[in-house]
Amino acid sequence: MMNSEEKSLPEKLADDIVDYILREKLQPGDRLPNESILAETLGAGRSSLREAVKLLASRNIVTVRQGSGTYISSTPGMVEDPLGFTFIEDKKKLAEDLLEIRFLLEPSIAAKAAENASADDAEHILDLCAEAERLLEEGSDHTAKDIEFHTAIGMSSKNMVVPRLIPIINSSIPLFIDLTENVLSRETIDTHREIADAILSHDPVRAHDAMYLHLVYNRRRIHSV
Amino acid sequence: MMNSEEKSLPEKLADDIVDYILREKLQPGDRLPNESILAETLGAGRSSLREAVKLLASRNIVTVRQGSGTYISSTPGMVEDPLGFTFIEDKKKLAEDLLEIRFLLEPSIAAKAAENASADDAEHILDLCAEAERLLEEGSDHTAKDIEFHTAIGMSSKNMVVPRLIPIINSSIPLFIDLTENVLSRETIDTHREIADAILSHDPVRAHDAMYLHLVYNRRRIHSV
């Protein structure tokens, strides 16, 4: 998206730090060397280095903790709203199009989760299901819990791309809850529970179909708006 | 991903500028007001404002052209490697998992493209197909053209999420070309052409199947590595 000729010194230095992180195999939570050591290692001035670290922080590659140091972020490189949905004006069409993508992905992902979920995974999914249910029943905002539920299913599929993809696709959930004004839906609760049960009992076909049904109910509600 | 309490002044100001862009409905290519006007509008100091603009540039929301001004980017908010694949070590598993996602998405997207492509869309897809073919046949790097080809199909589906998603998913293409050492594949050329022809003749079933076959050949080649 950016040609290297157009890059400023701090931008080039940010790339060097990324290379350093990869070369040294630094993991989420690991600390970067302190400023003077890193400046020497990379042959850079300290003020350019500070600029470069700010750029990496804005891309969520590192997290700066004041007085403590600079650490590799927990999901390095995953930024908020990475597809720039903030800048799409037609939110109704966006919600429909996101739901269309969810139809393509989530039933098969639920099936893979039913195949691959560990006992801990399944228990975690059941917990999230119960919590979302409780929030929905008491009329509280269940958006975050809903996204956590679908992300946990994605994690259980053991496809390493899915947990990074699902929270983005599921940005349709807040849009959708907005559009439908958070009306309590019996079908949402019931299909959530059926998906969770199917994963717990390692039944991929039932997990697939329950997720499909869940999305059908969602689409009907969007279309009735 | 970041709580607002943890945000620095430039970060908060960057959020204010995003709100301003949305409120004023600025479009890709539009220019932001100059620094002094924007500073006054947002009630901000000029040095904080300059920091904030740098943060927005690193998130590809704006582009700073020296001596000309600050412009809204062509795809605002879409950053390079938004899912942080750079930081995943096991590239073989990553390529396989990305291909698995492509199987879920791309055949249906090709079918929708066959339904919705305009005459211009179809011609553009044919051109890209021919160019990728030429590069592949002369043994040149066809990665970028390949991603353009698949992105153009995504555009033609008229789902507004797809063109933002496809380039990310298709980061499997460079990984894959690396893994298979860019060996010329007759099947790749043939299935590319069949997909393009099916879209041109608005045949969704044939487009779906040709894309599926294309992915099957890709998966066989990864598995033979």
Work out the burial of residue B93: count CB atoms within 10 Å of its CB; fewer than 13 is exposed, 13-18 middle, 19 or more buried.
middle
Site from B26, B30, B58, B94 to mutate, A interface, most A CB atoms within 10 angstroms:
B58
Whether the per-residue pLDDT at B2 is higher than 50: the answer is no
Contact status, residue B29 vs residue B76, Cβ threshold 8 Å: no
Distance CA B175, CA B86 (A): 11
Local confidence band at B180 (pLDDT 50, 70, 90 cut-offs): low
Contact status, residue A113 vs residue B114, Cβ threshold 8 Å: no
Which residues 111-140 of chain B have a CB within 8 Å of chain A?
none
Contact status, residue B34 vs residue B68, Cβ threshold 8 Å: no
DSSP letters along A42-54, please?
HT--HHHHHHHHH
pLDDT tens track for B43-56: 999 999 998 998 88
pLDDT tens track for B182-219: 554 778 888 999 999 999 999 999 999 999 999 998 88
Residues of B in contact with A76 (CB under 8 A): 84, 87
Structure tokens at B158: 């008229």
The pLDDT value recorded for residue A25 is 86
Residue tagged 């412009």 (tokens): B71
Q: Any chain A CB within 8 A of the CB of B177?
A: no
State which H helix or E strand residue A72 sits in. Answer: strand A69-72
Q: Who contacts A220 (Cβ-Cβ below 8 Å, separation ≥6)?
A: none
* pTM, 2 dp: 0.79
Residues of A in contact with B19 (CB under 8 A): none
B13-24 core/surface letters (b: 16 or more CB in 10 A; e: else): bbebbbeebeee
Residues of A in contact with B110 (CB under 8 A): none
- A142 to chain B, closest Cα gap in Å: 17
Work out the burial of residue A35: count CB atoms within 10 Å of its CB; fewer than 13 is exposed, 13-18 middle, 19 or more buried.
middle
Residue B119, CB-side half-sphere exposure with 13 Å CA sphere: 0
The ipTM is 0.78
* Selection from A131, A118, A145, A108 nearest residue A200 by Cα: A118
Distance CA B180, CA A26 (A): 28
- A26 to chain B, closest Cα gap in Å: 9
Contact status, residue A48 vs residue A33, Cβ threshold 8 Å: no
Tell me whether residues B79 and A82 touch, CB distance under 8 A: yes
Distance CA B5, CA B97 (A): 36
Q: Who contacts B220 (Cβ-Cβ below 8 Å, separation ≥6)?
A: none
What average pLDDT is seen over chain A?
86
**Closest residue to B100, CB basis, from A58, A78, A159:** A159
Contact status, residue B71 vs residue B62, Cβ threshold 8 Å: yes
Output DSSP code: residue B86: G
Tell me whether residues B97 and A161 touch, CB distance under 8 A: yes
Tell me whether residues A93 and B54 touch, CB distance under 8 A: no
A156-A157-A158 Cα angle (round to 5): 85
* Selection from B193, B60, B79 nearest residue B132 by Cα: B193
Structure tokens at A159: 């496809």
Structure tokens at B174: 């460079």
A179-194 core/surface letters (b: 16 or more CB in 10 A; e: else): beeeeebeebeebbbb
Local confidence band at B25 (pLDDT 50, 70, 90 cut-offs): confident
Distance CA A206, CA A126 (A): 16
User: Once rounded to an integer, what is the mean pLDDT over residues B92-101?
Assistant: 89
**Closest residue to A58, CB basis, from B55, B161, B164:** B55
User: Once rounded to an integer, what is the mean pLDDT over residues A80-98?
Assistant: 81
Which residues 42-61 of chain A have a CB within 8 Å of chain B?
51, 54-55, 58-61
- A5 to chain B, closest Cα gap in Å: 13
* Selection from B174, B161, B79 nearest residue A56 by Cα: B79
Structure tokens at B38: 């924007």
Residues of A in contact with B77 (CB under 8 A): 81-87
Residue B199, amino acid: I
A137-A141-A146 Cα angle (round to 5): 85
Output DSSP code: residue A30: P
pLDDT tens track for A184-213: 477 888 899 999 999 999 999 999 999 999
Tell me whether residues B60 and A1 touch, CB distance under 8 A: yes
Tell me whether residues B79 and A75 touch, CB distance under 8 A: no
Local confidence band at B87 (pLDDT 50, 70, 90 cut-offs): confident
Top pLDDT among B180 and B92 is at B92
Work out the burial of residue B164: count CB atoms within 10 Å of its CB; fewer than 13 is exposed, 13-18 middle, 19 or more buried.
buried
**Closest residue to A77, CB basis, from B78, B86, B169:** B86
Backbone angles phi, psi at B67, to 5 degrees: 75, 0
Residues of B in contact with A67 (CB under 8 A): none
pLDDT tens track for A10-35: 889 999 999 999 888 888 889 999 98
